[in-house]
Amino acid sequence: VDTGGIEPGTDNEILKFMRMQAEIAIEAADVIVLITDLHTGVTAADEDVAA
């Protein structure tokens, strides 16, 4: 399942809902693939999501 992006620590209701849906998918998944931007490198937000 390709979920929407995960934005940690947001007050935006839509982004909160997207994160909730991603967390549900993560719980049900056998494999999780985290894709980051090669040019930007691993960000603090990426590290938060991966934790």
Determine the pLDDT at residue 49.
83
Determine the pLDDT at residue 42.
93
The phi and psi torsions of 19 (rounded to 5 degrees) equal -65, -40
Show me where the domains of the chain are located. Answer: 13-50
3-state SS string for the chain = CCCCCCCCCCCCHHHHHHHHHHHHHHHHCCCCCCCCCCCCCCCHHHHHHHC
CB distance 25 to 3 below 8 Å: yes
Determine the pLDDT at residue 6.
83
Half-sphere exposure of 51 (CA within 13 A, CB side): 8
Q: What is the pTM of this model?
A: 0.68
Determine the pLDDT at residue 28.
94
Determine the pLDDT at residue 48.
85
Residues contacting 13, CB < 8 A, separation 6+: none
pLDDT digits (tens, 9 = 90+) for 1-51: 788 778 878 889 999 999 899 889 999 999 999 888 899 999 988 888 888
